[in-house]
Amino acid sequence: MAGSVHPDCKRLARIGSAVRERLTADPSVQRFPEERAEIYAVEGFLHTDDCARLIGLIEGIARPSGLVDEADWPQYRTSYSSDIDVHDDTVRALDDSIAALTGLRLDCSESLQGQRYRCGEYFHEHYDWFDTSAEYWRRESECGGQRSWTAMVYLNCVEEGGSTDFTRMQISVPPLTGSLLLWNNLCPDGTPNPWTMHAARPVVRGVKYVVTKWFRTRRWC
């Protein structure tokens, strides 16, 4: 039955259209010219000083990044991640700005994650939405459910490499200090969108820092 394969798809479709409407009405938001997935960018979303502060927080606590499905796939993702301090003023202000832009509820989002990619580090092709037939889904379904939107801020420009590529479409986004990249992981009907497959390409020169927030269907815990 479709309902059990894609739980909450009606609710997720409603979330998707509310965000779409809001972003479309906002002149600071640019949509990538692509019908198959909803991908948006806002340049200068975060001030350079705040980017530097977040880089400092990430550097303080970075550890090797994990993968959601716990499969033993060494080298699938070689970046470093950190749960940055949710009580930090810069982190809270950024959370608030993302919520104000999208209209999405912060209590239905994962806490902001920082990522650092040094030279040669990357994150292979993947989806941010959860595979509801996977082993991990039981856990995720009980703590917020499916991921809806991803919001990611580039904290610095990278000398070479490090783009975010939507690999099934011709979209490659180079890191730009303070830019927000935002996309709907789902289709307008609330089901996972296979066109949203993406990868963080290897950094060739320099270091890349980003912060990411994933929104969920319900309260995240």
Binding site for ligand AKG (CB under 6 A): 115, 123, 128, 164, 198, 200, 210, 212
Closest CA to 188 of 12, 39, 1: 12
Nearer to Fe ion, 88 or 136 (CB): 136
Q: Quick one: what does residue 196 bind among Fe ion, ligand AKG, none, with the CB cut-off 5 to 8 Å set by partner type? A: none
CB of 113 to ligand AKG, least distance (A): 7
HSE at residue 59, side-chain half, CA atoms within 13 A, is 10
What is the distance, to the nearest Å, from the Cα of residue 132 to the centroid of all Cα atoms in its chain? 19
> At 7, is the secondary structure helix, strand, or coil?
coil
If binding means CB under 5 A, how many residues of this protein chain bind Fe ion? 1
> Shortest distance, CB of residue 185 to ligand AKG, whole angstroms?
10
Residue 112, sorted as left (phi over 0), alpha (psi -120 to 50) or beta, turns out to be beta
- The answer to whether the CB of 118 falls within 8 A of the CB of 62 is no
Q: Which does 200 bind (CB under 5 to 8 A by kind): ligand AKG, Fe ion, none?
A: ligand AKG
**Quick check: 77 binds Fe ion (CB under 5 A)?**
no
| Residues in region 113-132 near Fe ion by CB under 5 A | 128
List CB contacts of 187: < 8 A, sequence separation 6 or more.
16, 193
Least distance (Å) from Fe ion to the CB of residue 210?
10
Cβ distance to ligand AKG smaller for residue 10 or 36 = 36
Residues near Fe ion, by CB under 5 A? 128
